[in-house]
């Protein structure tokens, strides 16, 4: 699988922002001024996007960093016709010409008749590196997350956001060197239960805002939020801005926008799309979602 990168869980339980989901739903609120949220282990500073120094960052930029990113739940490579075909996934992704890809529901299966993992095969065909963190319980970084990129990799973290009695879930983060700047990319696949996702979202936001911002960040994956008006969704949009894009599930006749892409700063998403054609409708039960990002 190439060189497996170091697993890190050191900040996986940085405390939950317990007021966040309630505040997003209109129950409770941020304290005025400094943007502190009270938690069980003391205050954790989480700055609202409007409080980020975006104006200063823009003033320092000579040229924006432009990326094309894709998130794709590949359903263990199994298509709607019941076939598993790594080349079909390549054929879906290649025309999108992505710089970074977040995959969900990958596995360690080999290309038929070879010893080459499908992840390696797909990455090689696209001219990307594979970023995975193997774990004993769930394949890759809790619920089989993987990233692919054409950029050099500075650091990789796998953060356990699982809940007792539920499937293993995680955040897979890579710090990528884009020129001489670091861009953070986080891929994830959240749980099926609403309360479970609420806790996972607070973990995600704690991790995202609790570490150095660098040039910016992209957060993408299968969020399993079926309806845009939920409290969980409101919390994400409160801190990461509006999420745009067409529905992605089910692939054959998409009704639900399960797969999403956000950026920080929040104005980084410039264009979002979902390819709908005969191939994407059959290659997985999700459609891939792409975005043009400027940071």
The pLDDT tens digits of the residues spanning 133-159 come to 876 654 557 668 999 999 999 999 999
Q: Is residue 8 a part of any domain in this protein?
A: no
Does any domain span residue 252?
Answer: yes
Residue 241's CATH number: 3.60.10.10
Peptide linkage before 265 cis (omega within 30 of 0):
yes
Number of domains in the chain: 1
Q: Which two tokens stand for residue 155?
A: 């650091």
Ordered alpha helix ranges (H), 135-289: 194-209, 231-240, 278-283
Instruction: Look at residue 55 in the predicted model and tell me its pLDDT.
Output: 41
Span between the terminal Cα atoms of the chain, in Å = 30
* Whether pLDDT at 226 is above 60: yes
CB 14 within 8 A of CB 210: yes
Does residue 113 lie in a domain region?
A: yes
Residue in 151, 159, 208, 195 with CA at minimum distance from that of residue 177: 151
Model confidence at 245, pLDDT cuts 50, 70, 90, reads confident
Q: Structure pTM?
A: 0.80
The tens digit of pLDDT for each residue in 160-184 reads 999 999 988 999 999 999 999 999 9
- pLDDT category at 61 given cuts 50, 70, 90 is low
- Evaluate if residue 12 carries a pLDDT over 50: no
Please report whether residue 5 resides in a domain: no
Does a structural domain hold residue 154? yes
Range of the domain at 178: 18-294
H/E element, 72: strand 66-73
**Tokens 């995600």 identify what position?**
204
Long-range contacts of 23-31 (CB under 8 A, 24+ apart): 23/235, 23/238, 24/231, 24/234, 24/235, 24/237, 24/238, 25/231, 25/234, 25/235
What tokens were used for 293?
A: 């990002």
- The yes-or-no verdict on residue 213 having pLDDT over 90 is no
Asked whether residue 158 is domain-assigned, the answer is: yes
235 belongs to a structural domain: yes
Q: What percent of the chain has pLDDT over 70?
A: 76
Span of 41-50, 184-193, 258-267 with lowest mean pLDDT: 41-50
Of 43, 41, 172, 59, nearest to 106 (Cα)?
172
Name the percent of the chain in helix, strand, coil, to the closest 5: 25, 30, 45
* DSSP 8-class letter at 151: S
Q: Is residue 10 part of a domain?
A: no
């Amino acid at each position: 699988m190439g060189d497996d990168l170091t697993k890190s869980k050191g900040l996986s339980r940085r405390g939950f922002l317990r007021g966040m989901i309630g505040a997003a739903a209109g129950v409770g609120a941020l304290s005025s001024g400094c943007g502190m949220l009270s938690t069980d282990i003391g205050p954790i500073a989480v700055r609202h996007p409007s409080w980020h120094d975006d104006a200063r960052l823009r003033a320092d930029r000579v040229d924006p960093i432009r990326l094309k990113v894709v998130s794709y739940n590949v359903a263990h490579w199994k298509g709607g016709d019941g076939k598993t075909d790594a080349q079909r996934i390549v054929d879906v992704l290649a025309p999108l010409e992505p710089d970074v890809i977040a995959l969900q529901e990958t596995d360690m299966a080999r290309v038929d008749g070879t010893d080459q993992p499908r992840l390696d095969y797909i990455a090689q065909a696209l001219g990307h590196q594979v970023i995975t963190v193997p774990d004993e319980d769930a394949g890759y970084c809790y619920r089989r997350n993987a990233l692919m990129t054409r950029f050099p990799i500075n650091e990789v973290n796998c953060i356990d956001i699982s809940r007792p009695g539920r499937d293993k879930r995680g955040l897979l983060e890579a710090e990528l060197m884009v020129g001489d700047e670091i861009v953070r990319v986080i891929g994830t696949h959240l749980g099926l239960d609403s309360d479970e996702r609420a806790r996972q979202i607070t973990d995600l936001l704690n991790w995202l805002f609790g570490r150095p911002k660098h040039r910016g960040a992209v957060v993408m994956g299968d969020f399993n939020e079926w309806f845009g008006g939920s409290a969980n969704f409101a919390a994400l949009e409160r801190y990461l801005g509006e999420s745009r894009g067409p529905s992605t599930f089910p692939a054959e006749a998409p009704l639900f926008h399960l797969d999403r892409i956000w950026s920080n700063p929040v104005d980084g998403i410039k264009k979002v799309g979902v390819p709908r054609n005969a191939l994407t409708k059959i290659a997985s039960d999700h459609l891939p979602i792409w975005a043009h990002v400027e940071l």
